[in-house]
Structure 1
Amino acid sequence: MAGVDEAGRGPVIGPMIVAGVLVDDSSICILEQAGVTDSKRLTPQRRVKLFQCVLEVAKSVVFLEVSPSEIDEAVRSGVGLNELEACKMAEVVDRLQPDVAYLDATDPHPSKFEGRVRRYLACSTRLIAEHNADEKYVIVGAASIVAKVIRDVKVEELRAYGDVGSGYPHDPRTINFLRCWVREKGCLPPFTRQTWKTARRILDEVLQKKLV
């Protein structure tokens, strides 16, 4: 069986990571005993430790990095983030080739999301999409840990440009970083999701002040 989840769907800075974990049914108990669960319930240190556990137990681990520019292209073209995520989840499932795959559904209607993923799927894997699947199923929790740890690594790499914070719109450090960048360079950083309202608002505000 496999679990698939994402990390970084909402940030204004950095990529979204879609990850999948494939295990034998008999290995689920090992992940349960180790404490694998939804990554949001874990401290960063605990996530890293469990990430190593998942790598040791899993038959296969796959992740896709979806860049800000790819997300922007999907938004501008009208494809949308939900459709892009469904496409990426299908790609992960196709690469893992499990008998059954549990998906963390982002659509308000899980059955609709499941159908959307199915349209992109080449293999005959049985799909089960549910809300909060990362809390309900250990295998999806494992995928959420992989996605989150890799996303954190990618954000850490961006700190070479300054204190980007968490990359989320509610983070004051992220907002301050973007404002300073735009004031200095007159544009948004290339690793920003430029279609996000937060990014557009900061760009407009800072450039407008320069004109006054």
Structure 2
Amino acid sequence: MTVDVPAGPGVAGVDEVGRGCLFGPVFAAAVVLDIKAAGRLLEAGLTDSKKLTAKRRQALVPLIEQNSIAWALGQGSARDIDRQGIRAATELAMLRALQRLPEQPSLVLVDGSLPLRPWTGHQQTIVAGDSLSAAIAAASVLAKQARDALIRRLALRFPGYGLERHAGYGTAQHRQALLLSGPTALHRRSFLRRLLGTLD
């Protein structure tokens, strides 16, 4: 990873996971790192969560929590997604994570090309930010691990959908289970209309 973006005590990286899922909330994390902590985490193998195995992500979580100046999580529920749309719900998850930090950051680094519209402070969008910013990469790992852990717990509550295997994404197994059993209360009905027809 090449860190060529701002870093420091007042800079928070924010990232989300779960935008494309059919089930459950979208998760976001916000992480504040100083330069030394970023270096330690990069040496430990921190990078974009999608490039890491589940075992490696799990090993990084305590390192991120211990080395960060601050970190926090936020969610946008399936109901938020159905009511507001996925972009607005994702922004809500990011905003909630940022608002849970002990201090408001002076700059927010947002993964991707779309600005975080509800954020009134300074921000910078970074395409492929989880490969360029240690703080964004750390946020991606925390968000991914937290969401996966929640979905594994919810798989016990909603058996038969294979949630523990696909984390709510639209795999063939998941789609077949939806056709057979219908959606649960935590499925994103706005995402299912094409698959299941009208869900009023």
Superposed pair shares fold, TM > 0.5: yes
Instruction: Report the count of equivalent residues.
Output: 182
Give the aligned residue type for 1:168: Y
Contact 1:19 1:147 (8 Å CA) reproduced:
yes
Residue of structure 2 aligned with 1:69, choices 76, 79, 98 = 79
Deviations, residues 13-47 of structure 1 (Å, cap 9, x unaligned) = 11110111112233111111111110000011111
In the aligned structure 2, how far is the partner of 1:61 from the partner of 1:28?
Answer: 13
Structure 1 unmatched runs, 5+ = 76-80, 183-187, 208-212
Q: Cα offset for 1:60? A: 1.5
Structure 2 residue 188 is the aligned partner of structure 1 residue 193: yes
Q: Cα offset for 1:3? A: 0.8
Contact 1:14 1:192 (8 Å CA) reproduced:
yes
Structure 2 unmatched runs, 5+ = 1-10
In the aligned structure 2, how far is the partner of 1:85 from the partner of 1:14?
Answer: 12
Residue of structure 2 aligned with 1:204, choices 185, 197, 200 = 197
In the aligned structure 1, how far is the partner of 2:81 from the partner of 2:47?
Answer: 27
Contact 2:75 2:94 (8 Å CA) reproduced:
no
**Who wins on radius of gyration, i.e. which is larger?**
1
User: Which residue pairs with 2:52 in the alignment?
Assistant: 42
Q: Cα offset for 1:52? A: 1.4
User: Which residue pairs with 2:28 in the alignment?
Assistant: 18
User: Which residue pairs with 1:121 in the alignment?
Assistant: 119
Contact 2:75 2:92 (8 Å CA) reproduced:
no
Aligned residue runs from structure 1 range 1-212, under 5 A: 1-75=11-85, 81-96=86-101, 97-105=104-112, 110=113, 113-114=114-115, 117=116, 119-122=117-120, 124=121, 126-160=122-156, 161-162=158-159, 163-164=162-163, 165-166=165-166, 167-169=168-170, 171-182=171-182, 188-196=183-191, 199-204=192-197
In the aligned structure 2, how far is the partner of 1:101 from the partner of 1:41?
Answer: 23
Deviations, residues 42-64 of structure 1 (Å, cap 9, x unaligned) = 01111111111101111211111
TM-score (norm 1): 0.78
In the aligned structure 2, how far is the partner of 1:190 from the partner of 1:90?
Answer: 24
In the aligned structure 1, how far is the partner of 2:119 from the partner of 2:196?
Answer: 38
RMSD: 2.0
In the aligned structure 2, how far is the partner of 1:71 from the partner of 1:46?
Answer: 30
In the aligned structure 2, how far is the partner of 1:43 from the partner of 1:138?
Answer: 17
Give the aligned residue type for 1:178: L
Q: What SS does the aligned partner of 2:190 have?
A: coil
- Which runs of 4 or more aligned residues in structure 1 lie more than 6 Å from their structure 2 counterparts after TM superposition? none
Q: Which moved more, 1:94-103 or 1:82-91?
A: 82-91
Contact 1:91 1:121 (8 Å CA) reproduced:
no
In the aligned structure 2, how far is the partner of 1:101 from the partner of 1:177?
Answer: 40
